[in-house]
Amino acid sequence: MLKIPQPAAESIASKLNFRYEQGTVIAVVQDAKSREVLMVGHMNKEALIKTLTTGYLHLWSLSRRRLWLKGETSGNYQIVTDLRVDCDNDSVLILVESKGPICHTGNSTCFYRDLGMLKN
């Protein structure tokens, strides 16, 4: 589990470019072992700091306009093992150990649909 002290987390957060909708960075969530992409979400500064200091994935909900702990209602928590920042400092790659399906549909990834499923 990746867990760092609050001052270090705040220092890291101060270096990111929170500029997308509602002052967020894009967060790509990937399985730490298989490297499968599980989901894409958004993080504001508070979500990033909470993630870094607790070791659990926190995101910013654009629709609900609030911070949320991934798994808070389902119990399918995402334990962060590593976090990487892209070259523009405006998106992060978060490696997780998943404690159950990550998708609200019950699938292990949000990317379970191929193009054929969209044709109908």
pLDDT digits (tens, 9 = 90+) for 65-113: 999 999 999 999 999 999 999 999 999 999 999 999 999 999 999 999 8
pTM of whole model > 0.95?
Answer: no
Give percent of the chain with pLDDT exceeding 90. 88
User: What is the rounded average pLDDT of the residues 48-59?
Assistant: 98
> Residue 119 above 80 pLDDT?
no
Q: What is the pLDDT of residue 120?
A: 60
Q: What is the pLDDT averaged over residues 27-37?
A: 98
CA distances from 74 to 2, 21, 56, 92 (A): 22, 26, 14, 24
Residue 24: its pLDDT value, please? 97
Determine the pLDDT at residue 114: 87
Domain 6-119 of CATH type 3.10.20.810: yes
Mean pLDDT along residues 52-71 = 96
* Cβ within 8 Å of residue 48, ≥6 positions away: 9, 12, 13, 16, 25, 58, 92
More confident residue, 117 or 99: 99
pLDDT score for 16: 98
Looking at residue 113, its pLDDT comes to: 87
Contacts of 71 (CB under 8 A, 6+ apart): 56, 57, 77, 78, 99, 100
